[in-house]
Amino acid sequence: MDEIINRVQESGLIPMDLADFKPKTEIVEIDIAHQLWEGLILREKDFRAWLKENDWTKYSSKAVYIHCSADAIVPTWAFMLVASKLVGVSPVFIVGSKIDLEKELIKSEIAKINLEEYQDGKIIIKGCSDIAAPEFAMSELLKHLQPVAKSIMYGEPCSTVPIFKKAKI
């Protein structure tokens, strides 16, 4: 009986899955639109009362994006006031969209990669994943790994697209 040989393992290729960088922290929103008077304007006195009465501890250990879903002009300081309540409570928060926050979390996960493990490696970035903004994740991963990698490919070991190859010196 013939022995099954794992050619991928023997090739020295290092597969990386974008799913490994998918945010693990629960993502929640704070929509300032809910604090607008008649859905149109922000009343400072009412807004400050909401800030004071709101239980900010519910955002503990959650990633938060602050935005306004209404088509209204919201003063910049309103976002700053909300953010000031999250300092020391939420591990990560941004003013922006959910996708902006997911990108921030992905970038943070990629930054944790130990580059020594990929020194002169032949890396394959697996593209099929349910990660938000895969193009962003792939380019961030490439930016992080390219300085140390020997080569970077996209796809599956059986069918790759060459992306980068270190010049021979």
Q: In this predicted structure, what is the pLDDT of residue 6? A: 52
Q: Of all residues in the chain, what percent carry a pLDDT higher than 90?
A: 76
Mean pLDDT for 93-106 is 97
Q: Of all residues in the chain, what percent carry a pLDDT higher than 70?
A: 92
Q: In this predicted structure, what is the pLDDT of residue 159? A: 84
What pTM was estimated for this model as a whole? 0.85
Span 35-82, pLDDT tens digits: 999 989 999 999 999 999 999 999 999 999 999 999 998 999 999 999
Residue 129 to residue 70: CA distance in whole angstroms: 32
Tell whether the model's pLDDT for residue 168 goes beyond 90: no
Q: Of 164, 158, 154, which is closest to residue 126 (Cα–Cα)?
A: 154
**Torsion region of 38: left, alpha or beta (phi above 0 gives left; psi -120 to 50 gives alpha):** left
The pLDDT mean for the chain works out to 91
Residue 97 to residue 124: CA distance in whole angstroms: 30
Residue 124 to residue 142: CA distance in whole angstroms: 10
Q: Under a CB-based contact definition with an 8 Å cutoff, are residues 116 and 128 in contact?
A: no
Q: In this predicted structure, what is the pLDDT of residue 1? A: 60
Rg (CA), the chain: 22
Residue 129 to residue 69: CA distance in whole angstroms: 28
pLDDT grade for 28, boundaries at 50, 70 and 90: very high
pLDDT grade for 2, boundaries at 50, 70 and 90: low
Q: In this predicted structure, what is the pLDDT of residue 157? A: 79
